[in-house]
Structure 1
Amino acid sequence: MPLTLGLTGMDAATEIAIKAAFADANTRLGKQWSLVPDSQAEYVIVDMDSMYGPMSWLRLHAAGKTVIGLTSAPRTQADFLLPQPVDSEGVAALLQELAAATGESLDLVAVDIPMSTRADTPSPAGMTPAPVPQDPLPGEVVDQDEEASDPDQPAVPAPSAVAPPVNVAPPEPVPLVDEGPDSLLGWLTSPRLKGRVRLAHGDVPLLIDADARTYHGPALLKPLADHFQRKVEDADLETIDAAAWAAASAAAGDAQPLNRLVWFGALVSGGGKLAGGFPPDTRFQMLKWPQTEREYPKHFRIATVMMKGPATVVDIAQASGVPEPDVTDFVNANLATGFADIERPPEPEPDATRSSGLFGRLRGR
């Protein structure tokens, strides 16, 4: 049986790194593997940490492919796991494991690989930045109540029932009427916030570059929850000069998109109550695969249900097996960032029987 591997659902830098690691590993395994397009491959690597990785997994799973999940989490919904960041040793171990599943045994041989051809692994791409060395892996800090309700494999509806992402531009984020002008979320979604500032209160450093729409802080989001639970005055947002910013941002961590912070703020600020003043029978829909964070494993199930079509919070909770307050918080977060919207009545079809222009007016007489 030919051993074929494909790649999909990842950015260009990640794909380049995997291909380089594969070339190294495959050489040491006697070149028994072939890298082919994912449609022709028996095994396909998918970046589960990227925005569209989970949807690629669903598509490939429905097509009968064996999927390898590339992730920095300790486990994956896919059939096999390739740890992130990628190196040739990890890829070699994976190729050996896959070959063993088909009854073949591949042994590593010593091969001198020039340094110029070795893989330089980029930082993981996707909505969730990789943990910095001093942080625990996201999977190690999952709340006990979440872990208890999240068995080894999450309950995901049949892939064939899941609609592909809607290929439309997201609308303007739905305004959150209860965010409050003096909350951090209120500042983040207001034109009042300008330039580079440091949030003075709290034990967890947070630097915000409002003009660049980025922030510097921990790789995990939950440590930032306290910032959204208290009042933020003008004096709490310290403007700092370029030299101080350079030093503080280097210590605080890599730049991350400010939209991620808005997402988290909307998630934790609602307290399980629907924002925006929407009645309980409002039906919500996903416009594209949303941002999912590895700190919240239940969100994958909620998003999968919502990708099927418009539904109320109660219906989403019942279909996903996730409590209504968690569904509500997730809906709030994705409304605030434009990934979700309320169901809107379709635009009326133009009357085909009425014609415009001179001849139409003449016929109408």
Structure 2
Amino acid sequence: MAVLNLGFTGMDSATEAELRRAFEQALPAAGGGWQLVADTHADYVVVDMDSMYGPMSWLRLHAAGKQVIGLTAAPRSQTPYRIGRPIDAGELATLLREMRGPGAEVAPASPEPPAAAPASVPSGMTPSPEPQDQLPEELPIAAAAAELPPNPDAIVEPALPAAEPPSSAVGQVLPPAPSIAPHVPATPAPPAPSRSAEPQTLAEWLASGRLRGRTRFERGGASILIDADQRHYFGPSALKPLAPLFESTGVDQSDFEPVGADVWSAQTAALGAAQPLARLVWYGALLAGGGRIVAGYDAGTRFRLTKWPQTEREFPKHFRIATAMMKGPATVAEVAQAAGVPEGDVADFVNASLATGFAEPHRDPEPEPEAPKSGGLFGRLRGR
């Protein structure tokens, strides 16, 4: 039987060891036909997309013509195949079986060097792309003609405590709740407008934490169903068709129409899987600045990514921007020059990353206090 080669890269040794154990358990259920080899000799390579090194490895492997399997806790990944977290041997067996297919024709495997032993540090790091290079995800995509696949890249929803009342309750608006307050920058900034004022846009309502239950929101021919308690929504898989929802002001409580349980079940069934509400928060912040950084930061403010964000296929330049920002703190202008993109795109990306906690302004460390002068015998002699 023809054998396919599988390798691992862009992950720490503990994760690689866990994957190896899962592979050994999954191989019999998958019907065999796979062997582990070093990632440089593998046809399919598993990459930890949740690590700092994963997206960089993904870029390198694409250039080498490899098939990439993304290991991620996110419900979506920009890779062709996905392994979820926590790692499940049964899920891995199903994936391996599906990837082989019933009549997979593969050249017999030639002897290859054994897979490298787990390394003590992540591997697969690669330089960021040059401005003139075209990244794989920047190839034209007919997003306007059809919706994205079921698994486009998305912002990862942070874990939040369960809210009361339960999600089956009809939508309502409560007094301000701090549970989903916007990310607070570490660097002091001029005070922002008070959140006690009534929200005026959908983005402000989402950030206020005052929505509860299940509601429908419509604007400009676009509509979504929001389950504020479960922190998800139902709507088109693409984000750009939802832009009209964020364009209008004067949004008040009456614009969120409560939806009963029977109607909710019928309408959500036709809209597909639930999507994290943080994705809408991210998109609202992306549009809010209109190409300018939000109020409270000047042109000299340097920003840094606290972790690698999941990027959206509709915004391919964001991968360049994130790659440039991972190098270290930089101003909007410096990131734009390094990534080869307009400053407005960088400002919008920074705004969205600040709102969702993926970025923060950089603050230089405080200077070390001066060491006290010696008071010993030689110090007293020098003082005479």
What is the TM-score when the length of structure 1 is the normalising length?
0.60
Q: Does 1:291 align with 2:290?
A: no
Question: Does the 8 Å CA contact 1:82/1:91 hold for their aligned counterparts?
Answer: no
Instruction: Please report the RMSD computed on the Cα atoms of aligned residues, expressed in angstroms.
Output: 4.7
Q: Percent identical across equivalent pairs? A: 44
> Which residue does 2:201 correspond to in 1?
183
> Which residue does 1:233 correspond to in 2?
252
Q: SS at the partner of 1:315?
A: helix
* Unaligned stretches of 5+ residues in structure 1: 105-137, 144-170, 355-365
Q: Deviations over 1:193-220 (max 9, x none)?
A: 2222110334333011222211111111
Q: Provide closer, same or farther for how the CA distance between residues 319 and 216 of structure 1 changes in structure 2, counting only shifts above 3 A.
A: same
Q: Does 1:333 align with 2:352?
A: yes
> Which residue does 2:267 correspond to in 1?
248
Q: Deviations over 1:95-127 (max 9, x none)?
A: 867x599899xxxxxxxxxxxxxxxxxxxxxxx
Q: Give the Cα separation in 1 of the matches to 2:220 and 2:302.
A: 37
Q: Give the Cα separation in 1 of the matches to 2:259 and 2:78.
A: 44
Q: Does 1:45 align with 2:45?
A: yes
What is the TM-score when the length of structure 2 is the normalising length?
0.58
Q: Deviations over 1:292-348 (max 9, x none)?
A: 001111111100000010001111111101111111111110011000000112255
Superposition pairs for residues 123-272 of structure 1, below 5 Å? 140-141=141-142, 172-174=183-185, 177=192, 181-231=199-249, 232-272=251-291
Q: Does 1:68 align with 2:57?
A: no
> Which residue does 1:319 correspond to in 2?
338
Question: Does the 8 Å CA contact 2:283/2:352 hold for their aligned counterparts?
Answer: yes
Q: Provide closer, same or farther for how the CA distance between residues 247 and 47 of structure 1 changes in structure 2, counting only shifts above 3 A.
A: farther
Superposition pairs for residues 21-32 of structure 1, below 5 Å? 27=32, 31=33
Q: Provide closer, same or farther for how the CA distance between residues 283 and 346 of structure 1 changes in structure 2, counting only shifts above 3 A.
A: same
What is the count of residue pairs matched by the alignment? Answer: 279
Q: Give the Cα separation in 2 of the matches to 1:351 and 1:91.
A: 65
Q: Give the Cα separation in 2 of the matches to 1:23 and 1:294.
A: 36
> Which residue does 1:5 correspond to in 2?
6
Question: Does the 8 Å CA contact 2:6/2:35 hold for their aligned counterparts?
Answer: yes
Shift of 1:65: 8.5
Q: SS at the partner of 1:206?
A: strand
Q: Which amino acid aligns with 2:308?
A: W
Q: SS at the partner of 1:215?
A: strand
Q: SS at the partner of 2:212?
A: coil
Question: Does the 8 Å CA contact 2:199/2:252 hold for their aligned counterparts?
Answer: no
Q: Which amino acid aligns with 2:278?
A: N
Question: Does the 8 Å CA contact 2:10/2:54 hold for their aligned counterparts?
Answer: yes
Shift of 1:251: 2.4
Shift of 1:61: 7.2
Q: Which amino acid aligns with 1:45?
A: V
* Unaligned stretches of 5+ residues in structure 2: 71-76, 84-93, 113-138, 145-181, 374-384
